[in-house]
Amino acid sequence: MTEEDIKNIIKEATVKITVTIDETIESGTGVLINQQDKYYVITVYHCVYGKDNIPLNINSGNIELEFHSTIYLDKLTPINIEPISSNIVIMELDNSIEKSINYECLERVYYEKTYYIRGFPSGLMGSPHFFTANCNDADIDTVGFSIELNNLTEDTSGENAIEYISGLSGSGIFFSEHGKVYLVGLVNALGTKGGVFNRVDCIKLLDINKSNIYNISFSDFKSIDDISKQLKKINREIAEYSCKQFESENVTLYNNLDRKHSNIFENQEVYEKNFRAIKNYLSGRNSFSELKLVNASFEKELLMISEDILDELSSISKYIEDKKHGQNNLQRIEDKTLEVIKEEIKLIKKDRYISNKLQEYLVVGWLLKCNVDFILKDEDGI
């Protein structure tokens, strides 16, 4: 997905909000969500009810929603306004908008991703504007988080900061990964009142996910780091029972593995080596299954890489002088496989744990399926 594709999706979802009551005007930004053929605009609380301690007495007629996109060219008013918490408001629309929203909601924020924001800052005369941002907040497991906005157009420090950010509140905070766009939060306020514009406090979507008012669904997105942590926990639970069950259900495969290990290890080591190899294979298979869910093309990519690895390993002789020679050959196979995985599979980047698990899955898979063999020369009479 290109940056232009990402921005087009966000553009379609961004709404300009104007609240007018008596002579008081509040302006801000919201994000369009559709769920089960119903449409909503979400924004931060003060964009609707103001910043004073006593909230404005608001009804639907006080609110004007304006879409600067191809979704809807006219202005709308919501048919229902619902504060979800002291942080977030959801406004329900009628069903006159007939277009799906191509992004998913998350209740988590991910560290060190590039985020995209589109809003209507007063400093730009209320015109729509895109910003990119980074989340460098180490404490991202709380309700709020901070980001730093990039690509500013002018000085926004000191007194200019409040004027500049006015109107940007309520803007959605998006990122893209694996060909999808995700919404993780909303712009709320300046990091400090006398600070600089590029540090902004934001609100996560936790309150929406916990609320059962509108049953808005959230994605089960997992980053590579999430998967890695989950797999470590699952793989620790793979015990001897699983390996024995594998042995009983896959007799031919187990015999293939046992024969090869018998040729390169001492007799007293063979069973332990078999157990560890099967344990590693099952762990690697878990990793492989999880990554397939994240990216549909991953299975094909790994298959192509494994074929390339086999071609490169053809130079490693299956005939061995002695057990030590066989162990060295196996180590060369493991090293080469890990090297190719780290270089070629961009999805996992440099995650060491998952790289090792995929290596074990491929190498032990070969041992089980006879794609690699170790034959003692004296047994063949060579």
Please return the burial class of 222, using the count of CB atoms within 10 Å of its CB with bins 0-12, 13-18 and 19+. middle
Percent of the chain's residues with pLDDT above 90: 13
Q: pLDDT per residue over 147-170, tens digit each? A: 888 755 554 554 555 666 678 899
Q: pLDDT per residue over 316-363, tens digit each? A: 767 888 889 889 988 988 888 888 888 888 778 778 888 888 998 988
Q: pLDDT per residue over 102-129, tens digit each? A: 888 888 888 778 999 998 887 666 678 8
Give CA–CA dist 73/68, Å, rounded: 7
CATH 2.40.10.120 domain residues, the chain: 3-208
Give the pLDDT mean for 133-158.
69
β strands within 111-249, DSSP E: 114-119, 129-134, 144-149, 172-177, 180-190, 199-204
333 phi, psi to nearest 5 deg:
-65, -45
3-208 is classed CATH 2.60.120.200: no
